Chains A and B, each alone.
Chain A
Amino acid sequence: MTPTAPSAEAFQPKDYKSDLKPIWCPGCGDYGVVQAIYRALAAIGRPPHEIAFISGIGCSSRIPGYTSAYGFNSVHGRALPIAQGIKIARPDLLVLAAGGDGDGFSIGGNHVPHTIRRNLDLTYIVMDNQIYGLTKGQLSPTSPRGRETVTSAYGSMEAPVNPLLYVLAFGAPFVAQGTPADMAGLASIIEEGIRYPGFAFINVESPCVTYGEEDHQLKDHRAAMIPLQSLGHDPSSRIKAMDLAQEYGTKLYTGVFYRNPTPPPTFEALTRERQEKLSAGAPPREKILDLFIQR
């Protein structure tokens, strides 16, 4: 199927909004995230039927249901393998994957490095609220040490996963972070991630208004966020990006941490290349068995 040539003004954000009304708690950061996704998709201009949106399980994983696109709210931690399968089968589709920090870095954690090294052209948006919100407030892999919850009354004893360092260390070619406290910035990095020719990772600090920390809500993000552009950060350096990423949890940097200036070949491109190369010397079907017969 030949994808429709994108047209920036052909679609409005509301064209990507489904009829399902979100059941998230009022005040949830995810409302801003889904709005930013609608804005990014409108800016890109692909029609809804050329978009596939895959998620795992959690509050944030409801997003495909609220988006007018092919949506697959799959099983816990498995958005990425399914998204990759869809992209391999249908490289013409614009593929997005989404989920929470638990979905992505606990049960789904081992899919992340392999998705990165495979480098399919898809965008993974993680709504990082440092808690398992859907199940009413348990520690997640990004919860800070000492964080108390109903099921961890004495506080977390574990160091949190740093999602930014994690993906940078495994070689992700595009890494960014945003917050719904800066809607324009968030829509912009989502758009940029989608446009990037390869795997793009976007960590969104999207606070849980019910089970999150009282002093880590959107009003606190507004005060605390530091745009990377304001620091004069050069996103072409992975080492500089990792240096800044180490401050995850203490500083809220927003913007593009890393963008590989020479995007590595995508898995789809390499597959096509190999197929063309192998089919050039391929025998006709009736002679295939000769390959296995010793003469």
Chain B
Amino acid sequence: MTLRGIDFSKLSLKDALDLAILIEEEAQERYDEFSDQMDIHRTPEAAAFFRTMSGNEQRHGEELRKRRERLFPKEPRTVNRSMIFDIEAPDYDQARAFMTPRQAMQSALRSEEKAHAFFVAALPQIGDAEVRALFGELRDEEVEHQDLVKRAMAKLPPDSGPPPEGFVDDPVAQ
């Protein structure tokens, strides 16, 4: 998780909303990539889960976009994607061929925890009261997202491990 060129003490509400939208967009795109990878590598259950996560991120992003449009219609965006890396998006090495739904959910849970940690770390640095309120809200939402994933995990049967016929050679890190 990396930030570049963001001074939280001077962050405006418009920029904070744009940043939050970019974070959701990045996460949505990553989950799309993961679901494609799982499809290609014949791991349909994990693919379906990542697709669900992508849909969740898209919804969150849409809610933020509508809010931004209401408050700052037609004002151009001044923050961009080069300022954020993997804030909420799962790290690329979280995906594995033949990963179980539980493993897929664990990777999503780690991502939600990462995003929560980001907002927690940013809050003390924020100067603007409205931005602080927004980040507090986003922090609390990440807790809700974590609970959603945990509830889904609780419904899963225990993992039985990857199918032995899935590998020709024992993979080193799969």
Interface residues of A, Cβ cutoff 8 Å to B: 8-9, 12-14, 21-29, 31-32, 35, 39, 42-43, 136-137, 150, 180, 182-185, 187, 207, 209-214, 217-219
Contacts and interface: CB of A to CB of B under 8 A. Distances in A.
A27 B38 contact: no
A43 B82 contact: yes
A101 B159 CA distance: 37
B97 A31 contact: no
Contact of B173 (A184, A185, A214): A214
Tell me what chain A mostly uses at the interface: helix, strand, loop, or mixed: loop
Contacts of A12: 81
Nearest to A31: B92
Interface string B152-174: 00000000000000001101111
Given A183-B86, A184-B4, A187-B82, A210 B172 contact: yes
- Range of interface residues on chain B? 20 to 34
Interface in B1-18: 2, 4
A23 B81 contact: no
Residue of A26, A29, A42, A184 ringed by the most chain B CB atoms within 10 A: A26
Given A22-B36, A24-B37, 11 more contacts: A8-B80, A14-B29, A25-B174, A26-B43, A42-B81, A137-B169, A150-B169, A184-B4, A210-B171, A214-B173, A217-B173
Contacts of B99: 26
Contact of A13 (B34, B81, B86, B92): B81
Contact of B169 (A14, A136, A209): A136
A178 to B, nearest CB: 13
Given A43-B82, A183-B86, A187-B82, A22 B93 contact: no
Contact of B93 (A35, A137, A187, A219): A219
B85 interface: yes
A182 B86 CA distance: 10
A210 B81 contact: no
Contacts of B38: 26
B171 A209 contact: yes
Contact of B92 (A9, A150, A180): A180
Contacts of A22: 36-37
